[in-house]
Amino acid sequence: MAPQNDTVPHAGTGTELVKRGMAEQLKGGVIMDVVTPEQAKIAEDAGAVAVMALERVPADIRAQGGIARMSDPDMIDGIIQAVSIPVMAKARIGHFVEARVLQSLGVDYIDESEVLSPADEAHHIAKSEFTVPFVCGATDLGEALRRISEGAAMIRSKGEAGTGNVVEATRHMRAIRAGIKRLGTLDETELFVAAKELRAPYDLVVEVARLGKLPVVLFTAGGIATPADAAMMMQLGAEGVFVGSGIFKSGDPAQRAAAIVQATTFHDDPDVIAKVSRGLGEAMVGINVATLPESERYATRGW
Amino acid sequence: MSAPLIGVLALQGDVREHLAALREQGAEAVPVRRPEELAAVDGLVLPGGESTTMIKLAARFGLLAPLRAAVRGGLPAYGSCAGMILLADRILDAPPDQETVGGLDVTVRRNAFGRQVDSFESEIALDGELAEAAGESLHAVFIRAPWVEDAGEGVQVLGRVVGGPADGRIVAVRQGNLVATSFHPELTGDRRVHAMFADIVRSHLADSAGAGAGGDEGGQP
């Protein structure tokens, strides 16, 4: 049949369905931090569903200090050219111009990230206005819902990036899950109070109570360093995993990356996790989060 | 007749949405990650997701050869987006070493519409058995989607893009028991594609049962 030519080019881009639907395609997968095109290739070969392009992995940001910003556009271009899987990149919290630049570069997802130095101490980016979708970090349900109300199309736990210590990601995943479960037990009157306590829009609170889950995909991030870490997060309700410093700060990045991908898919099968955990070499050196001074905790950034 | 058992390849991707859509069609739907799980199903959905990730995991866990054998042996299969890439005999714009399950005599171009900022939702024109009446359309969502660049003679076109820069591109096809769409009906409420696939699985089951009753099981020409 002869199709009619009656619509404008690329009508229907950047809709909520298109943005949230993109995250649905990443489920069950691992998104890996990379700082060079070579690392991006290693990640793609290992089976990553996407890469996160950034200038320094969180462990190096911690070690070197200073202000952490959006990456050099040349570096992001290089990574986009190197791989066929989606490329994400980080913008500072509240830095809507960095986000505009990343959108113009053609990145597939923007992470408005606490790992970079915040650019605004009160406001996050108004994300609904963009064509490109955003993922944001959260430590509990209220924070997740505030980000969704601003237009985030995907949520991840914050964890404590660059520590190789999964304890904060565990806390955040459990907090988000507990918050969702609690909403399911409340009646309409109580949901009004819950919305006030969560500092989140009432309609979103009702939607979560009805669905029994967030209305967007929930990943985990922050401190995942081993296949078993990734599998535990999946069992705690994560729909996929971000691995930052854990891969390229380890002894054998290619093998560890593949092992974490496999453990994420077979997260409920201890035999597979045991098999892929053998002979991985050195994991990244970890940091005890309890000894981190408050000023060096990234999870407290964002409001 | 009991409900058909339809698997969803569950290595990665939007598995849950396909399971739900199949259950709405009266099928029993189960995730498939292992060869023994594949062997049990009457039909298989290859979901949306990242095709490079799925094919690597399939190869690593000994599922690729059984998948190829099952599809070539006539197992009904439906692939959406990444699943279309996996079912294609030939792919363009993929990493040079990317393998496929194959079976569909088509050439598929990965990320054909562009990057995520070019992803879109739109009405498409239906054709063939997906359209009950001429001019029928379907609201489709395309996410870093592939299209069918070139289809072999035995391939029936079921849907095309209408308007825009990709006007007329083929985005839904059927070849025998194999169905593929560039778009994601599992993410929208429209269940026509899943209903058609469930019917294909039921017919295939009925044919196999008929062949079995005739004492000629597996004796397909």
The long-range contacts involving B85-93, CB below 8 angstroms and separated by at least 24 positions, are B85/B51, B85/B110, B85/B146, B86/B46, B86/B51, B86/B54, B86/B55, B87/B46, B87/B178, B87/B180, B88/B148, B88/B180, B90/B150, B91/B146, B92/B149, B93/A84
Dihedral Cα A166, A167, A169, A172, nearest 10 deg = 170
Residue of A41, A77, A84, A127 to mutate, interface with B, max B Cβ within 10 Å: A84
User: CA–CA separation, A42 vs A248, rounded Å?
Assistant: 10
Q: For A127-157, how does the pLDDT look when each residue is reduced to its tens digit (9 = 90+)?
A: 999 999 999 999 999 999 999 999 999 999 9
Q: What is the pLDDT of residue B131?
A: 86
Residues contacting residue A42 through CB under 8 Å, at least 6 positions apart: A34, A253, A254, A257
Length of chain A: 303
Chain A positions touching B165 (Cβ under 8 A) are 9-10
Q: Any idea what the Cα angle at residue B141 is, between residues B138 and B147, rounded to 5°? A: 90
Task: List, for residues B22-72, the tens digit of each pLDDT value.
Answer: 999 999 999 999 999 999 999 999 999 999 999 999 999 999 999 999 999
Does residue A271 belong to the interface with chain B, where contact is any CB pair within 8 Å? Answer: no
Overall pTM surpassing 0.90 (yes/no): yes
Taking contacts as CB-CB distances below 8 angstroms, the residues of chain B near A14 are: 117
- pLDDT tens for A98-107 read 999 999 999 9
Which chain A residues are closer than 8 Å to B168 by Cβ?
3
The mean per-residue pLDDT over the stretch A245-268 comes to 95
Structural domains of chain B in order of their starting residue, each with its CATH number? 5-214 (3.40.50.880)
B182 with B142: CB under 8 angstroms?
yes
Tell me the C-alpha distance between A136 and A90, whole Å: 10
Cβ distance of B116 and A86 shorter than 8 Å: yes
Q: Do A25 and B13 touch (CB under 8 A)?
A: yes
What confidence score (pLDDT) does residue A7 get? 40
Q: What is the mean pLDDT of chain A?
A: 94
Confidence (pLDDT) at B95: 87
Say whether A275 is catalytic.
no
Tokens of B21: 């859509």
pLDDT at position B216:
44
Paired strand residues for B151: B106
List b or e across B86-106, with b for residues whose CB sees 16 or more CB atoms inside 10 angstroms.
Answer: bbbebbeebeeebebbbbbbb
Q: What is the largest CA-CA distance in chain B?
A: 56
Residue A282, both tokens = 């050195």
- List the 17-36 stretch of B: residues with Cβ below 8 A of A: 17, 33
Per-residue pLDDT, averaged over B88-112, amounts to 95
Q: What is the pLDDT of residue B219?
A: 41
Residues A27-44, mean pLDDT to the nearest whole number: 97
Contact B121, B161 (CB under 8 A): no
Check if A290 contacts B (Cβ < 8 Å). no
Average pLDDT of A19-36?
A: 97
DSSP string, B9-67: E-SSSSHHHHHHHHHHTT-EEEEE-SHHHHHH-SEEEE-SS-HHHHHHHHHHTT-HHHH
Return the higher-pLDDT residue of B213 and A250: A250
What ipTM was estimated for this complex?
Answer: 0.93
- Which of A100-114, A257-271, B199-213 comes out lowest in average pLDDT? B199-213
**CA angle (B135, B139, B140) in 5-degree steps:** 120
SS3 assignment for A162-173: CCCCCHHHHHHH
B80 to chain A: nearest residue by CA?
Answer: A25
Which tens digit of pLDDT belongs to each residue from A170-222?
A: 999 999 999 999 999 999 999 999 999 999 999 999 999 999 999 999 999 99
Q: How much is the pLDDT for A3?
A: 41
Amino acid at A157: S
| Whole-angstrom distance, CA of residue B98 vs CA of residue B88 | 12
**Residues A78, A80, A82, CA angle at the centre, nearest 5°?**
70
